[in-house]
């Protein structure tokens, strides 16, 4: 990481530093005293709790300085009107100072996996930095930029949102050279009104790009296929179904725990083997391949690096525990990713059990989408346990799909869900745990695996 002086950071964000502290330096930033490392800048944010109350603890834990709106003592600080905006300004200044190339990644489903695949493809050729887990918002992404080593050549930054103008703000900080939009789904439709609204919000990533920027889009997505007609930027499409995509996947086939396909582009072909299950990962890999090709990675290197790809923990993590095969996919969920995970479950040998939490932020689509997921669950599982306020709609869909009442149950209490699952599950079963992050399905899994006392 590059050392930034307080005066330098203050110049970037329009803040004030006491001259005696102007040359104090910091390495990275954090807004959580529990995770803060010595030498970092502590960000005093005002949220449910006022970060200013934690300044003494931050200094005690080794913070080099504080970003705050006021000082209640004598310590190194940058004083600003709004710490959140100042954090973004400082991150933008550091991004420009380092001069790294930036690949921005967004989409409704699969953006974290796509980010990881892109970083995997680029690593070994470039010194690559990337956003860590949960750092894709207006606080996390700037902190990720400030944590990049000074010699970073390419940063792969995930950008999330649930309201308009949030990605525009992130793009104004990241200033991406390459923008990837993996798909337009229905997550966050509650706040954005429609899929067209989601498309509009995702396309905000283009606002931070230079005229020679490279845009990489999913050509199988009906809402993305015409973006090139509205943008003067260089657009490359990837896809499986659309024959007009420049980069295509052919002969897609699952072989045990490997996903195999052939990539075709510009008259060339390349066989790919991904150590991961599910056709829904093929577009993510195609996006990574597009980025790799655009940045000069050889086809042979792309193939080799993807062959050793490992996804983040909690994203379709397949575990063997106590005689059960467990598919841990608890990080998040929307209609598209829920359907994909259920189809992976449906191809597993053994009795298949779907333990499904609610999908959040679906607005007027909530009832219909939970019902649809229930129908899909009935096609891919022998036992469905649904948890949350909308669990009855999941079960209604499952019953309509042909499941018996004794095999489809709704719960609004997690402990009752866990107790029932312990009673019904048998060694040899395959269990899928999936739901929106706010449903904390990892707690249901932990409860299931916990020994009774």
DSSP states of 175-229 as a string?
--SEEEE----STTHHHH-SHHHHHHHHGGGGGG--TT-EEEEETT-TTTTTGGG
292 and 327 housed in the same domain: no
346 and 270 housed in the same domain: no
Closest CA to 384 of 365, 366, 404, 369: 404
In this prediction the pTM is: 0.86
Mean pLDDT of 384-393: 98
List the domain range (segments joined by +) for residue 214: 99-306
Question: For the segment 12-60, what is each residue's pLDDT rounded down to a tens digit?
Answer: 999 999 999 999 999 999 999 999 999 999 999 998 899 999 999 999 9
Residue 254 in any domain: the answer is yes
Mean pLDDT of 427-444: 96
Domain at 416, CATH number = 3.90.190.20
331 and 274 housed in the same domain: no
Q: Is the pLDDT of residue 130 over 50?
A: yes
pLDDT score for 184: 94
Bridge-based pairing state of the strands 4-5 and 408-411: unpaired
Residue 91 in any domain: the answer is no
Conformational region of residue 259, where left means phi above 0, alpha means psi within -120 to 50, and beta covers everything else:
beta
Q: Is the pLDDT of residue 186 over 80?
A: no
Of residues 257 and 128, the one with the higher pLDDT is 128
pLDDT classification of 319: cutoffs 50, 70, 90: very high
55 and 137 housed in the same domain: no
pLDDT score for 451: 82
Q: Is the pLDDT of residue 185 over 90?
A: no
pLDDT score for 1: 47
Ranges 361-365, 424-428, 439-443, 445-449: which has the least confidence = 361-365
Residue 93 in any domain: the answer is no
Question: For the segment 188-234, what is each residue's pLDDT rounded down to a tens digit?
Answer: 677 788 999 999 999 999 999 988 999 999 999 999 999 998 888 99
Number of independent structural domains in the chain:
3
DSSP classification of residue 428: T
Rg (CA), the chain: 23
Long-range interactions of 67-70: CB distance < 8 A, separation 24+: 67/9, 67/15, 67/29, 67/41, 67/42, 67/43, 68/44, 69/44
Residue 263 near residue 249, CB atoms below 8 Å: yes
Tell me how crowded residue 196 is: count the other CB atoms within 10 A of its CB: 11
Q: Is the pLDDT of residue 309 over 70?
A: yes
Q: Given 61, 85, 109, which residue is the final one in a domain? A: 85
301 and 328 housed in the same domain: no
Mean pLDDT of 375-379: 98
Highest-pLDDT range among 76-85, 159-168, 207-216: 76-85
Residue 90 in any domain: the answer is no
Residue 332 in any domain: the answer is yes
Of residues 420 and 162, the one with the higher pLDDT is 420
- Give a three-class secondary structure readout of 331-383: CCCCHHHHHHHHHHHHCCCCCEEEEEECCCCCHHHHHHHHHHHHHHHHHHCCE
Cα dihedral value 136, 318, 292, 270, nearest 10:
-160
Q: Given 285, 306, 327, which residue is the final one in a domain? A: 306
Backbone angles phi, psi at 254, to 5 degrees: -90, 130
Residue 393 CA: distances (Å) to CA of 358, 359, 360, 377 = 10, 12, 14, 12
Residue 219 in any domain: the answer is yes
115 and 198 housed in the same domain: yes
pLDDT score for 2: 56
Residue 353 near residue 430, CB atoms below 8 Å: yes
Q: Is the pLDDT of residue 170 over 60?
A: yes
- Using DSSP's 3-state secondary structure scheme, residue 270 falls into strand
287 and 339 housed in the same domain: no
pLDDT classification of 162: cutoffs 50, 70, 90: confident
Residue 439 near residue 413, CB atoms below 8 Å: no
Tell me how crowded residue 447 is: count the other CB atoms within 10 A of its CB: 15
Domain at 54, CATH number = 3.40.1390.10
H or E segment at 234?
Answer: strand 234-239
145 and 194 housed in the same domain: yes
Domain at 226, CATH number = 3.40.1190.10
pLDDT score for 323: 95
CA dist 37 and 88 (Å) reads 20
Residue 113 in any domain: the answer is yes
Residue 166 near residue 191, CB atoms below 8 Å: no
Q: Is the pLDDT of residue 311 over 90?
A: no
Q: Is the pLDDT of residue 166 over 70?
A: yes
325 and 397 housed in the same domain: yes
287 and 333 housed in the same domain: no
Q: Given 306, 325, 340, which residue is the final one in a domain? A: 306
Residue 94 in any domain: the answer is no
344 and 396 housed in the same domain: yes
Residue 105 near residue 115, CB atoms below 8 Å: yes
H or E segment at 327?
Answer: strand 324-329
pLDDT score for 182: 97
Q: What is the mean pLDDT of the chain?
A: 95
256 and 155 housed in the same domain: yes
pLDDT score for 54: 97
pLDDT score for 232: 84
């Amino acid at each position: 990481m590059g050392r930034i002086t307080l005066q330098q950071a203050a110049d970037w964000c329009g803040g004030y530093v006491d001259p005696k502290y102007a040359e104090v330096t910091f390495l990275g930033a954090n807004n959580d005293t529990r995770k803060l490392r010595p030498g970092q800048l502590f960000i005093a944010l005002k949220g449910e709790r006022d970060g200013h109350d934690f300044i003494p603890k931050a200094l005690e834990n080794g913070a080099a300085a504080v970003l705050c709106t006021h000082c209640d003592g004598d310590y190194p600080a940058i004083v600003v009107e709004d710490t959140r905006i100042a954090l973004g300004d400082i991150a933008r200044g550091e991004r420009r100072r380092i001069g790294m190339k930036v690949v921005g990644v967004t989409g409704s489903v699969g953006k974290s996996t796509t980010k990881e695949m892109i970083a995997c493809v680029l690593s070994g050729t470039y010194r690559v930095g990337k956003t860590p887990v949960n750092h894709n918002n207006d606080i996390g992404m700037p902190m990720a930029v400030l944590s990049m080593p000074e010699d970073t050549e390419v940063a792969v930054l995930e950008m999330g949102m649930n309201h308009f103008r949030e990605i525009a703000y992130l793009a104004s900080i990241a200033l991406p050279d390459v923008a990837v939009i993996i798909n337009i789904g229905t997550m966050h439709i509650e706040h954005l009104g429609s899929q067209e609204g989601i498309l509009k919000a995702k396309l905000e990533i283009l606002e931070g790009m230079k005229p020679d920027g490279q845009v990489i889009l999913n050509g199988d997505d009906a809402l993305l296929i015409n973006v090139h007609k509205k943008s003067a930027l260089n657009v490359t499409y990837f896809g499986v179904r659309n024959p007009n995509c420049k980069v295509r996947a052919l002969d897609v086939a699952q072989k045990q725990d490997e996903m195999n396909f052939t990539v075709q582009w510009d008259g060339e072909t390349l066989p790919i083997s991904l150590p991961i299950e599910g056709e829904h990962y093929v577009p993510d890999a195609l996006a990574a391949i597009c980025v790799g090709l655009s940045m000069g990675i050889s086809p042979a290197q792309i193939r080799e690096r993807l062959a050793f790809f490992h996804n983040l923990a909690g994203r379709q993590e397949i575990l063997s525990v106590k005689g059960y095969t467990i598919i841990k996919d608890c990080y998040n969920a929307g209609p598209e990713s829920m359907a994909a995970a259920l189809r992976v479950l449906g191809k597993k040998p053994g009795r298949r059990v779907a333990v499904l939490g609610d999908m959040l932020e679906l607005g007027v689509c909530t009832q219909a989408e939970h019902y649809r997921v229930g129908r899909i669950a009935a096609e891919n599982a022998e036992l469905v346990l649904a948890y949350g306020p909308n669990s009855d709609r999941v079960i209604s869909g499952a019953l309509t799909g042909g499941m018996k009442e004794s095999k489809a149950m709704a719960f609004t209490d997690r402990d009752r869900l866990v107790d029932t699952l312990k009673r019904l599950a048998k060694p040899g079963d395959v269990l899928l745990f999936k739901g929106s992050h706010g449903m904390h399905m990892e707690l249901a899994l932990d409860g299931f695996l916990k020994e009774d006392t």
